[in-house]
């Protein structure tokens, strides 16, 4: 059976970061693993290039949209090429074949009755330029982000009958426990689906940078909306709906995604496939995020790590090894130079690299670099058996995407090798005139390294090619079958004097993560919000008086108070701040005050707080209160003051 492995297509709204590299490394390793095993394997990656955001970004950069997309897409492709990612196809959603494939799919869904035309009613916030579903609005009318009122915009749209597939999806999850890996993520998806699926708006008329509807629809106002367009890439890349298609690779064996887009891949995507009468992928693998030195990476923190920067300093293969070894699949991982260097030194340099050096040295002294496996079985049956055990356990780890366990297990081979050298001490055997035994041990280690190199080759293709070259063989399927599957030993060969593969690293090779890059940070925050000054002064803990007065504090008279149903903490208050209308403030003080006891009393109110939505209700301010282990009390004026009196 053939194998098909995909990464997500990356959105061309920015350059590749370490997360993109991670996904790509895992997928690449998996593809190489399958290819090593002789599987007919197809590996897809690419870029997602449609949508309003791209249109806007292009405009900001004063470039034609297509040119803009071309340029960013090329940065991804170039990086993958530099990293020698072995993709079979790099798809772009602006490819003609892709567009035609999506249109074809749309027609099939249409014919099936899964697409219908209706109106997309969105609540549009002009200021935020965003649509919000009614459920997210504050008091059913206000923008959840900025609190301004929204307009109802009614836009003609085609809808996909996602709701129709709810039961079929749940059934599929239940029957295929490996459909979503890691399994802990599957529960989240299942719960979401159980919560009910709404039909999906799959076209837009508000922008044009997307795939047009098929001509048969005679409706060229519409373009396909993000997910239909993007998700379909996995089959259009195989030529879905086109001549000369390679759909025999479908269904995919593994589709890697970041945990943030799991929902689209585990719900929308299989529903689309069901509608197209195509089989579902075997596994959707959702990986976690990377932090840096324990902190989230973000542009504003200035601690984003570029894969290029790391590979320039440490080498791509070391980075691949580290990322796949360090973190269990699905979990978040942390990148720190300390951890990275530790792994390079102790695992790559000491365990692996040094082991190779040991036999180069010995064979040079004992046998003029000639290594012959003829006596290995005779003297090292024990080690050979242990090695076979390790090799047999590896497949399962890779198949369940547990690369860290795979590598951990694989490393046991080097331990067997290092221990064998110690136990049999070839230098002693040589003095005892037992050259046969000494050379058998050297040959044993050569075989260990050869087999390990084969199994490590998916993760470190170039390095293991050097090891193979040193040991007089090549990394390929024939040798995989002979040495790993059939347990054969290396034919006699002359070992090459290869310089150390992994020089130890004593000092970090990159500048440390900017703990605080104050300048950039300030500038960036300042641009966005005047509040920036608060952050700037965080270090001293002291603020200017002016900053204090940015907070508008006022005396408020509580006119009404009522408990919020189904809420443990919230009271809904109407507070007079001396304005035309009383403010509605939702406060988390239910545990400490009864509504009756509050009416008519006064409290201090933050009057210029961004409105927030609590329990679906607008809260237009905040009451000041003090809370300790004994409970909470409101901060109130000592004597009654006119409502709206400023506090300062």
Partner RNA sequence: GUCAGGGUAGCUCAGCUGGUUAGAGCACUGGUCUCAUAAGCCGGGGGUCGGGGGUUCAAGUCCCCCCUCUGACACCA
Write the binding mask 371 to 410 for RNA: x where contact by CB under 7 A, - elsewhere.
----------------------------------------
Question: Minimal distance in Å, beta carbon 498 to RNA?
Answer: 9
| Piece in contact with RNA (CB under 7 A), picked from 20-28, 378-386, 417-425, 510-518 | 417-425
Nearer to RNA, 76 or 366 (CB): 366
User: Residue 125 in contact with residue 150, Cβ under 8 Å?
Assistant: yes
Q: DSSP string covering 273-341, please?
A: HHHTT-PPPSEEEEE--EEETTEE--TTTT----HHHHHHHH-HHHHHHHHHHHS-TTS-EEE-HHHHH
Return the residue of 336, 567, 584, 645 that touches RNA, per CB under 7 A.
Answer: 567
Please give the Cα distance from 168 to 269 (Å, whole number).
13
Question: Minimal distance in Å, beta carbon 523 to RNA?
Answer: 26
User: Residue 354 in contact with residue 499, Cβ under 8 Å?
Assistant: no
Cis-peptide, bond into residue 251, ω within 30° of zero: yes
Nearer to RNA, 177 or 616 (CB): 616
Write the binding mask 506 to 545 for RNA: x where contact by CB under 7 A, - elsewhere.
----------------------------------------
| Cα 249 from chain centroid (whole Å) | 25
User: Residue 577 in contact with residue 584, Cβ under 8 Å?
Assistant: no
| Piece in contact with RNA (CB under 7 A), picked from 29-37, 42-50, 300-308, 616-624 | 616-624
Nearer to RNA, 46 or 288 (CB): 288
- Residue 123, number of CB atoms within 10 A of its CB: 21
Nearer to RNA, 26 or 235 (CB): 26
Residue 185 tokens, joined = 């993520």
**Window 424 to 453, contacts with RNA (CB under 7 A):** 425-427
Binding of RNA by 466 (CB under 7 A): no
Please give the Cα distance from 245 to 237 (Å, whole number).
9
| Piece in contact with RNA (CB under 7 A), picked from 298-306, 350-358, 466-474, 524-532 | 350-358
Binding of RNA by 353 (CB under 7 A): yes
Question: Minimal distance in Å, beta carbon 170 to RNA?
Answer: 14
Place of tokens 């443990």: 568
Place of tokens 């070259």: 469
Which residues, in sequence order, are CB contacts of 194 under 8 Å at separation 6+? 170
Write the binding mask 289 to 328 for RNA: x where contact by CB under 7 A, - elsewhere.
---------------------------------------x
- Residues touching RNA, count (CB under 7 A): 59
**Window 15 to 34, contacts with RNA (CB under 7 A):** none
* Nearest CA among 623, 618, 616 for reference residue 590: 623
Place of tokens 């795939």: 211
Binding of RNA by 331 (CB under 7 A): yes
Nearer to RNA, 195 or 546 (CB): 195
- Residue 323, number of CB atoms within 10 A of its CB: 25
Q: Is the dihedral of CA 570, 531, 555, 636 positive or negative?
A: positive
Strands (E), 330-425: 333-335, 370-371
Return the residue of 274, 513, 558, 587 that touches RNA, per CB under 7 A.
Answer: 587
Question: Minimal distance in Å, beta carbon 342 to RNA?
Answer: 5
Please give the Cα distance from 402 to 329 (Å, whole number).
6
Residue 80 has what DSSP assignment? H
Give the pairing type, strands 617-619 and 612-614.
Answer: antiparallel
Binding of RNA by 184 (CB under 7 A): yes
Question: Minimal distance in Å, beta carbon 612 to RNA?
Answer: 5
| Piece in contact with RNA (CB under 7 A), picked from 27-35, 240-248, 378-386, 612-620 | 612-620
Return the residue of 358, 481, 535, 536 that touches RNA, per CB under 7 A.
Answer: 358
Please give the Cα distance from 620 to 574 (Å, whole number).
10
| Piece in contact with RNA (CB under 7 A), picked from 15-23, 101-109, 188-196, 265-273 | 188-196
- Residue 406, number of CB atoms within 10 A of its CB: 27
Question: Minimal distance in Å, beta carbon 360 to RNA?
Answer: 7
Residue 237 tokens, joined = 């890349």
Q: Determine the number of helices (DSSP H) and then strands (DSSP E) in the chain.
A: 26, 27
Question: Minimal distance in Å, beta carbon 500 to RNA?
Answer: 3
* Nearest CA among 20, 4, 19 for reference residue 73: 20
| Piece in contact with RNA (CB under 7 A), picked from 2-10, 92-100, 357-365, 450-458 | 357-365
Binding of RNA by 475 (CB under 7 A): no
Secondary structure percentages of the chain, helix, strand, coil, to 5: 45, 20, 35
3-state class (DSSP) for residue 613: strand
| Piece in contact with RNA (CB under 7 A), picked from 28-36, 154-162, 360-368, 528-536 | 360-368
Please give the Cα distance from 128 to 145 (Å, whole number).
8
3-state class (DSSP) for residue 81: helix
Write the binding mask 588 to 607 for RNA: x where contact by CB under 7 A, - elsewhere.
xx------------------
Return the residue of 38, 126, 615, 642 that touches RNA, per CB under 7 A.
Answer: 615
Return the residue of 169, 319, 564, 573 that touches RNA, per CB under 7 A.
Answer: 564
Binding of RNA by 53 (CB under 7 A): no
Return the residue of 614, 618, 620, 643 that touches RNA, per CB under 7 A.
Answer: 614
Question: Minimal distance in Å, beta carbon 549 to RNA?
Answer: 19
| Piece in contact with RNA (CB under 7 A), picked from 97-105, 157-165, 624-632, 638-646 | 624-632
Binding of RNA by 580 (CB under 7 A): no
Write the binding mask 195 to 214 for RNA: x where contact by CB under 7 A, - elsewhere.
x-------------------
Please give the Cα distance from 52 to 224 (Å, whole number).
11
Write the CA distances from 219 to 111, 203, 627, integer angstroms.
Answer: 16, 11, 61
Place of tokens 């390679």: 246
Length of the chain (residues): 648
Nearer to RNA, 215 or 423 (CB): 423
Return the residue of 497, 518, 624, 640 that touches RNA, per CB under 7 A.
Answer: 624
Residues making contact with RNA (CB under 7 A): 135-136, 184, 187-188, 191-192, 195, 328, 331, 342, 346, 349-354, 356-358, 361-362, 365, 415, 418-419, 421-422, 425-427, 500-504, 564, 566-570, 586-589, 612-616, 619, 622-625, 627, 632
């Amino acid at each position: 059976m053939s194998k098909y492995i995909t990464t997500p297509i990356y959105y061309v709204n920015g350059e590749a970061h370490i997360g993109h590299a991670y996904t790509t490394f895992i997928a690449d390793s998996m593809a190489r693993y399958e290819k090593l095993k002789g599987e007919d394997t197809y590996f897809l990656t690419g870029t997602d290039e449609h949508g309003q955001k791209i249109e806007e970004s292009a405009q900001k950069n004063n470039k034609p949209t297509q040119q803009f997309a071309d340029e960013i897409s090329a940065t991804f492709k170039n990086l993958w090429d530099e990293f020698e990612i072995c993709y079979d196809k790099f798809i772009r959603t602006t490819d003609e074949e892709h567009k035609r494939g999506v249109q074809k799919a749309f027609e099939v869904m249409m014919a099936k009755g899964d697409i219908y035309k209706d109106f997309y009613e969105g609540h549009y916030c002009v200021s935020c330029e965003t649509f919000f579903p009614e459920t997210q609005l504050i008091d059913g009318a206000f923008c959840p982000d900025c609190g301004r009122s929204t307009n109802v915009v009614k836009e003609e749209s085609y809808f996909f009958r996602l709701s129709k597939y709810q039961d079929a999806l749940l059934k599929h999850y239940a029957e295929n426990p490996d459909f979503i890996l890691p399994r802990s993520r599957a529960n989240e998806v299942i719960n979401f689906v159980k919560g009910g699926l709404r039909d999906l708006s799959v076209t837009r008329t508000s922008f044009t940078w997307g795939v047009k509807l098929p001509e048969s629809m005679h409706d060229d106002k519409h373009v396909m909306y993000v997910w239909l367009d993007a998700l379909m890439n996995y089959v259009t890349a195989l030529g879905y709906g086109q001549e000369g298609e390679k759909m025999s690779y479908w269904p995919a064996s593994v589709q890697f995604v970041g945990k943030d887009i799991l929902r689209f891949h585990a719900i929308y995507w299989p529903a689309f496939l069901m509608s197209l009468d195509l089989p579902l992928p075997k596994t959707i693998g959702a990986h976690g995020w990377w932090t840096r030195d324990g902190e989230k990476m973000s542009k504003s923190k200035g601690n984003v790590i570029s894969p290029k920067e790391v590979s320039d300093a440490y080498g791509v293969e070391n980075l691949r090894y580290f990322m796949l070894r360090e973190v269990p699949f699905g979990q978040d991982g942390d990148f720190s130079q300390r951890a990275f260097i530790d792994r390079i030194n102790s695992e790559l340099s000491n365990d692996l690299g040094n082991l190779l050096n040991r036999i180069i040295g010995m064979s040079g002294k004992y046998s003029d670099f000639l290594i012959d496996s003829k006596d290995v079985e005779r003297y090292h049956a024990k080690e050979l058996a242990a090695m076979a055990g390790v090799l047999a356990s590896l497949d399962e780890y890779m198949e369940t995407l547990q690369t860290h366990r795979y590598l951990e297990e694989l490393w046991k081979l080097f331990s067997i090798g290092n221990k064998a050298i110690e136990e049999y001490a070839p230098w002693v055997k040589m003095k005892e005139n037992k050259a046969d035994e000494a050379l058998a041990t050297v040959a044993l280690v050569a075989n260990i390294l050869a087999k390990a190199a084969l199994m490590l080759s998916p993760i470190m293709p170039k390095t293991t090619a050097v090891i193979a070259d040193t040991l007089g063989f090549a990394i390929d399927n024939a040798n995989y079958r002979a040495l790993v599957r059939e347990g054969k030993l290396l034919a006699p060969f002359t070992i090459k004097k290869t310089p150390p593969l992994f020089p130890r690293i004593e000092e970090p090779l990159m500048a440390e993560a900017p703990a605080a890059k104050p300048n950039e940070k300030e500038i960036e925050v300042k641009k966005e919000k005047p509040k920036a000054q608060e952050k700037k002064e965080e270090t001293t803990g002291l603020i200017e008086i002016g900053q204090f007065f940015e907070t508008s504090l006022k005396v408020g008279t509580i006119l009404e108070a009522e408990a919020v149903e189904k809420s443990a903490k919230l009271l809904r208050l109407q507070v007079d701040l001396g304005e035309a209308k009383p403010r509605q403030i939702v406060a988390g003080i239910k545990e400490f005050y009864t509504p009756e006891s509050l009416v008519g009393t006064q409290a201090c109110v933050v009057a210029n707080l961004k409105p927030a939505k609590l329990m679906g209700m607008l809260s237009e301010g905040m009451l000041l209160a003090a809370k300790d282990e004994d409970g909470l009390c409101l901060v109130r004026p000592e004597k009654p003051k006119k409502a709206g009196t400023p506090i300062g």
